[in-house]
Chain A
Amino acid sequence: EAGVAQSPRYKIIEKRQSVAFWCNPISGHATLYWYQQILGQGPKLLIQFQNNGVVDDSQLPKDRFSAERLKGVDSTLKIQPAKLEDSAVYLCASSQGTGGTEAFFGQGTRLTVV
């Protein structure tokens, strides 16, 4: 079974530029998550999709972050414009559902904003 695929693996941009990350979840997984992980901290949920609908985006900075999940499969997360404090690893995860089901994580995209 293929895992969660993310790209790019690394990205360096200047502040105020825009950037997009892509995620392909495990086939058949209805739930997709985007997390932000700052060095030395645990993953923080940005947005959760159930199929192509948003379940929770309470911690997504909506003035600069946006996300979509096309046809309930792939997802993109965009930052525009980026700030220095956005430097982090962006992790995508998927699961068959919620309620105690395990989440499978991709390797993440390491973003550096200079």
Chain B
Amino acid sequence: SQKIEQNSEALNIQEGKTATLTCNYTNYSPAYLQWYRQDPGRGPVFLLLIRENEKEKRKERLKVTFDTTLKQSLFHITASQPADSATYLCALETWHAGKSTFGDGTTLTVKP
């Protein structure tokens, strides 16, 4: 069956370090993979999208990699700040479905 797995444990890091979050999937052939940020009591907010034929995407302090052989995406936040503390969700969209399926998210806490 199709499955999306994100870091099951919460991630705690020190300010200034790089946070790396993982999204693994099985039995999917995603056309696109998206990363969203969700703060408590709020809806998810789009951060980055990467296509199946792209290896890496960057936006300011954010970097996403996409390895369709490993069936994995890594999401990096460099020079992390306490304001980066949130839950990060990955979402996969396949060619035929036209809809995104979300993982359960990883909660990141950046300590000053």
| Total interface residues in chain B, CB < 8 Å | 24
Q: Is A72 positioned at the interface, with any CB of B under 8 Å from its CB?
A: no
Contact yes or no, B46 A102, CB < 8 A: yes
By DSSP majority rule, is chain B's interface helix, strand, loop, or mixed?
strand
Q: Which of B14-22, B72-80, B99-107 contacts A (4 or more CB under 8 A)?
A: B99-107
Per the bound structure, the CA–CA distance linking A98 and B93 in Å amounts to 9
B39 to chain A, nearest CB (A): 10
A91 and B43 contact, Cβ closer than 8 Å, known pairs A98-B93, A100-B31: yes
Of residues 80 through 112 on chain B, the ones whose CB sits less than 8 Å from some CB of chain A are: 89, 91, 93, 97-105
CB distance from A97 to the nearest CB of B (A): 9
Q: In the complex the two chains form, is B44's CB within 8 Å of A43's CB? A: yes
CB distance from B45 to the nearest CB of A (A): 7
Of A11-19, A62-70, A74-82, A105-113, the one touching chain B: A105-113
> Shortest Cβ distance from B38 into chain A, in angstroms?
8
Query: Do residues A44 and B31 form an inter-chain contact, with CB atoms below 8 A?
Result: no
A102 touches B43 (CB 8 A): no
Within the assembled complex, what's the spacing in Å between the Cα atoms of A105 and B34?
A: 14
Q: Is A104 an interface residue (CB 8 A)?
A: yes
B42 on interface, CB distance cutoff 8 Å: yes
Residues of B within 8 A of A (CB): 4, 31-32, 34, 41-46, 49, 51, 89, 91, 93, 97-105
Q: Which 3 A-B pairs have the closest CB atoms?
A: A105-B43, A42-B102, A102-B46
